[in-house]
Amino acid sequence: MAKTKTYYFCRDCGYQSASWLGRCPECGKFGTFDEEVLKAESGKRKSEGGNILSAPKRLQEVTYSQTPRLCTHCGELDRVLGGGIVPGSLLLLGGEPGIGKSTLLLQMALALANHRLLYVSGEESEEQIKMRADRLCSSEVGSRKAEVGSRKPDGSDLSPQTSDLYVVSETVTQRIFEHIDAVHPELLIVDSIQTITTEDLDSPAGSVSQIRQCTTEFQHYAKTTGVPVLLIGHITKDGTLAGPKVMEHIVDAVLQFEGDRNYGYRVLRALKNRFGSTAEIGIFEMQEGGLREVENPSEFLMSHRDESLSGSAVSATLEGARPMFVEVQSLVSSAVYGTPQRNANGFDLRRMNMLLAVLEKRCGFKLGVKDVFLNLAGGLRVSDPAMDLAVACAILSSNVDMAISPRDCFAAELGLNGEVRPVSRVEQRIAEADRLGFERIFVSKYNGREIDRRRYHIQIVAAGVIEEVFRALFA
Ligand code: TYD
Ligand code: MG
């Protein structure tokens, strides 16, 4: 009989302890310890790569083959990955349930029709995957290839058409690796890691030790064979990846798929990427027939508004290397209750409170007795500091009830003394504003010097303090 041992794991950070603890010494959270039973021999299991001899080498002796990245045929996904999937990499795609993780990866798999892929699902049956694939294929958005079909690993067709996308519904890693031996895929997709278990452990699917063990097994497979593995992971209510932090350390890249359910837009970000930048974002729109790539995000971030409406200002922000024009809307009204209400959608509330204090002090508005609401059009969350000036101007515009021209835009940070501070890559923002047909852009005068004004048609207003911007807009 197998000897068993009981351990306690922190649900949050994966800290392991021999006894139950009320407070995790690692992450400091209370009541996060779960009991898990491990079979004693799990540690003795021989690893498949045990026969590979490793020895230290001089750096100049190390050679590597220039295997190109696997291009996913999805521009937005490639952008976030840093130009495609690196061979032998282990990627984790996280997101709330229903946000579209399975759709995104299945759509990618369908577009990669000339590669041999294995899609392992622990959540859906083969028939359900096929139904989703048909739905994606029946629209132009979902896939460019109509002749895509899918097969079970034993070779029986799920559809009369054939391609090299194999699907299987399976939850045990040992059997997944048997399927891999039969199929020899070039890319493995696992949906989702929380449903996968290994026979070596007795703990339930989704527990810390299972997730950690299964992720390690897939990592081992990816590193020894060079086949990239894409794992789907769930996200808990507070926005962290369900499962321990250790999973984030094991994988090469953590991508997060997020968005507001009320809007069709989805944003893909890299929280960690060993092979690319984490500043890039990919934007998609969820449509009836799947996810559509949004190449020009400014199209939905600016509402088409009436010129006479006050409280709106357009910010020239950058996400990664890509300029995005976001419309900030604000409503300032007299507070009905003793404590004024403050609310910000898509913008940091504390930052907004700080900007309100600056406006109160520098521009002399009694904003402390007003309700202030702020909203970014399109439901996007933006953290670029260059948003500050647009936010301040939208609030001022609503407060004095005078409209800002829709052909004005802003790109500057605000300091605590009301100074208009420079932002990074201002030329790129100006060039994009020029291209989109804006007539004026407000920037910091400290940015102003580096700009070659002759290159643009757009009028560049360089300001030193917020009062100057206020006078230029409303005087
Ligand atoms: P799904 O990929 O199942 O989410 P996840 O795997 O992240 O849990 O996406 C489910 C949602 O996407 C569902 O609410 C319906 C919507 N959807 C569309 O709007 N169009 C489509 O073509 C597909 C396949 C899904
Ligand atoms: Mg899913």
Per-residue pLDDT of the chain (475 residues), as tens digits, is: 556 778 888 877 778 888 888 898 888 888 888 887 776 554 444 444 445 567 888 888 887 777 788 888 888 899 899 889 999 999 999 888 888 999 999 999 988 878 899 999 999 999 999 999 988 887 654 444 333 344 445 444 444 344 689 999 999 999 999 999 999 999 999 998 989 999 988 888 888 888 888 999 999 999 999 999 999 998 766 666 666 667 888 899 999 888 776 777 888 988 889 988 887 888 888 888 888 888 877 766 666 666 778 999 999 998 877 788 889 999 999 888 888 999 999 899 999 999 999 999 888 888 888 999 999 887 778 888 999 999 999 999 999 999 999 889 999 999 999 999 999 889 889 988 888 888 999 999 988 777 888 888 899 999 999 999 999 998 8
pTM of the shown model: 0.75
Q: Is 195 in the pocket of ligand 1 (CB under 6 A)?
A: no
Ligand 1 centroid to Cα of residue 99, in Å, is 6
Q: Which of 106, 268, 286, 291 to mutate to test the pocket of ligand 1 (most atoms within 8 A of CB)?
A: 286
Q: What is the dihedral of CA 81, 85, 87, 89, to 10 degrees?
A: 50
What pLDDT sits at residue 155? 44
Residue 393 to residue 461: CA distance in whole angstroms: 14
Ligand 1 centroid to Cα of residue 329, in Å, is 30
Nearest-ligand number for the alpha carbon of 104: 1
Which amino acid residue places its CA nearest to atom 9 of ligand 1? 100
What pLDDT sits at residue 204? 85
Nearest-ligand number for the alpha carbon of 192: 2
What pLDDT sits at residue 244? 61
Q: Is 132 in the pocket of ligand 1 (CB under 6 A)?
A: yes
Which amino acid residue places its CA nearest to atom 2 of ligand 1? 100
Which amino acid residue places its CA nearest to atom 12 of ligand 1? 100
Nearest-ligand number for the alpha carbon of 257: 1
Nearest-ligand number for the alpha carbon of 290: 1
What pLDDT sits at residue 354? 94
What pLDDT sits at residue 1? 55
Q: Is 103 in the pocket of ligand 1 (CB under 6 A)?
A: yes
**Nearest ligand 1 atom, CA 106:** 2
What pLDDT sits at residue 113? 75
**Nearest ligand 1 atom, CA 289:** 22
**Nearest ligand 1 atom, CA 191:** 6
